[in-house]
Chain A
Amino acid sequence: MAYSSRQFIQPHRSSFTRAFSTGLAGLVLSLGLFTASTAQAAGEAVAKAINAIGEFTVFRTDGIQEQLEGKGSLPLYEGDRVTTGRGSQGLMEFTNGIQVALNEDTDFLILSRWESDKGTTRILRLATGEVWVKTMGGPKPLEIETPVATAAVKSTEFALKVQPDGQTTLTVVEGIVEFGTAFGTCPIRTSTISYGNRGKKCTKPAPTNVSPTIAWTQGIRQ
């Protein structure tokens, strides 16, 4: 079985290690100094931020905050929260070749899901804001969760926007995105748009001109 080292830390922990880490976790929780997911911060970076315009902040799971200014290479880890401020943008690249651009006022968590038969799926949990996503170099499993919907892709380019009330707008530039709410899933194809609302199935895809939707990414991708 292929485990993500950051999901489970060590799948085959020794009794001592487990007891020690359990005790440590209890201590950490009781002291209230760190979040419970601190242990997940250890390990390899899953992505790096490579460009920022304005305020681009990374909140580590241990409470540390780091910022990227302009072009650079800021490692990103599972559990990190990434935000952009008003009028700001950012660009990041995952180790498996997925590019993600963040528009202004965006806030998301970097997560993952592990399955014994499929391995690890990278997940971005988008609380607010707008992202553009492009997978490169072949199919890459990626999902973006919002408060009311999830977009699952393998090989595609799309943009996703979340309103404060959770309403989610998906615009597919190229490829197919499996877009679903708790009330149903529908495939959204190239040059179409769909909306996800709380308590409803995603809307039927409608043709759209994608160029204006992703125009905001031109600056940050240069």
Chain B
Amino acid sequence: MNPYTKFSTPLLIGLPLLMATNLTGCESMQGVFSPPKPEGLNTRVYSANESSNTVTVMDGDNYQVLGEIDTLNYGPHDLALSRDGKQLWVTNLANGRVTVIDTESRKPVASIYTGTRAHVVALTNNNKHAWVANIADNTISIIDTTIYRILGTIPVGKGPMGIAFSRDGKFAYVSTQDKMVNVIDTTAHQVIKQIPVGPNPHFLTLGPDGRIWGTNTGSNDLYVIDPTTNEIAATIEVGPAPQQIAFALKGTAGPNAYVTVAGLNKIVVVNATSPTLSIREQIDVGEGPNGIWANAVGTRIYVGHTKSNNVMAVDTGTSQVLATLPVGRKPIRVVASR
């Protein structure tokens, strides 16, 4: 079956019928296939503010800052939110620890040393483990998300930068500074393949098409890995210093990949519904766009700006900025509840 057909425009128009088919497994676009919940009630957006040592909590529907949480560590860099939205995992680049935040009380409940320069964190698909990439140790630490105990360490290539899991959870993909994406067999905790990508590969994420999407921040392009072959399936130039990727809709069009391109101060929108990639549009945003995340239904994207220290909410239907929220210094990562 062609994996792209399920995201074609006619199918999205027939949304109720599509929901009845019980399609599942789309990380970023899960809300599209979930029972409808009233939009405007409970989207929580979080930014990791690397130079403030804090996480800002925002109401993603009413565009308000709700509070700021001290991570009790140094250099919060990446965020991972549990599927139920109750646990927020924060890497702290400067002192190599991970902070676990209880989102209900908005307080840290655990601090775990993983390794030198803890960079990114990703939760396994069942949320039982948190995988943390330690740049200077060239390792991935695996943490039990219930008891916060490190259960193992996987050696990977030089300078692990990004982590994403395949849709079925059988593979983990880890980008490394040696211009590779390492493919890890999650049942054996072994690197089984290295895929050459490009200079300074950074962010990685699972796309709604089941493919792994990544950016080469050191060059101008993004790439897509086909998990059935573990080969590069497509690449496209998007502009200087591409950073992170989120998936959202523009009316009936999409899902689209929304890529923060720091060198342009723009979001570059890439068609994610066909095997070949093409740019649909570019959206002007603030200075130094980096972190980006979409709401569960794919109608809003939230963009963090590391130079202007704010998060913008963008309506993907009109590509207009709806609100600009001041957050802590250098908001480098943004996530939102599902």
Which A residues are within 8 Å of any B CB, using their own CB?
Answer: 3, 7-8, 11, 13, 18, 21-22, 25-26, 29, 35-37, 39-40, 111-117, 123, 143, 145, 147-150, 152, 166, 180-182, 198-199
Q: How far is the CB of B75 from chain A (nearest CB, A)?
A: 7
Which of B111, B117, B153 is close to A36, meaning CB atoms less than 8 Å apart?
Answer: B117
Q: How far is the CB of A126 from chain B (nearest CB, A)?
A: 11
Chain B residue nearest to A79 in the complex (CB): B113
Chain A residue nearest to B185 in the complex (CB): A199
> Could you tell me how many residues of chain B have their Cβ less than 8 Å away from some Cβ of chain A?
36
Find chain B residues with CB under 8 A from A148 CB: 152-153, 189
Find chain A residues with CB under 8 A from B7 CB: none
A40 to B113, CA, bound (A): 11
Find chain A residues with CB under 8 A from B129 CB: 182
Chain A residue nearest to B188 in the complex (CB): A199
Chain B residue nearest to A113 in the complex (CB): B112
Interface residues of B in 94-110 (CB under 8 A from A): 94-97, 107-110
Contact assessment for B151 and A182 in the assembled complex, using a CB-CB cutoff below 8 Å = yes
A8 to B108, CA, bound (A): 11
Find chain A residues with CB under 8 A from B324 CB: none
Which of A113, A150, A199 is close to B189, meaning CB atoms less than 8 Å apart?
Answer: A199
In the assembled complex, 19 residue pairs joining A and B whose CB atoms fall closer than 8 Å, in A order, are A7-B97, A11-B72, A18-B52, A36-B94, A36-B116, A37-B116, A39-B74, A39-B95, A40-B95, A113-B110, A113-B111, A114-B110, A145-B153, A180-B151, A181-B151, A182-B152, A182-B189, A198-B188, A199-B185
Contact assessment for A29 and B151 in the assembled complex, using a CB-CB cutoff below 8 Å = no
Find chain A residues with CB under 8 A from B73 CB: 8
Which of A13, A116, A123 is close to B113, meaning CB atoms less than 8 Å apart?
Answer: A123
Q: How far is the CB of A121 from chain B (nearest CB, A)?
A: 9
Contact assessment for B142 and A182 in the assembled complex, using a CB-CB cutoff below 8 Å = yes
Find chain B residues with CB under 8 A from A145 CB: 150, 153
Contact assessment for B152 and A116 in the assembled complex, using a CB-CB cutoff below 8 Å = no
17 further A-B contacts with Cβ under 8 Å, apart from A116-B107, A150-B150, A198-B189, are A3-B72, A8-B73, A8-B111, A22-B52, A29-B94, A36-B74, A36-B75, A36-B116, A114-B111, A115-B148, A143-B149, A147-B153, A149-B152, A166-B153, A182-B129, A198-B188, A199-B185
Which of A26, A37, A150, A152 is close to B95, meaning CB atoms less than 8 Å apart?
Answer: A37
Find chain A residues with CB under 8 A from B96 CB: 36-37
A112 to B113, CA, bound (A): 7
Q: How far is the CB of B152 from chain A (nearest CB, A)?
A: 4
Contact with A along B200-223 (1 / 0, CB 8 A): 000000000000000000000000
Contact assessment for B97 and A150 in the assembled complex, using a CB-CB cutoff below 8 Å = no
**Most chain B CB within a 10 A radius of its CB, from A40, A112, A150, A182:** A182
A111 to B117, CA, bound (A): 15
**Contacts A8-B111, A36-B74, A37-B95; A152 near B152 (Cβ below 8 A):** no
A180 to B72, CA, bound (A): 28
Chain A residue nearest to B54 in the complex (CB): A18
B51 CB within 8 Å of chain A: yes
Which of B75, B149, B151 is close to A25, meaning CB atoms less than 8 Å apart?
Answer: B75
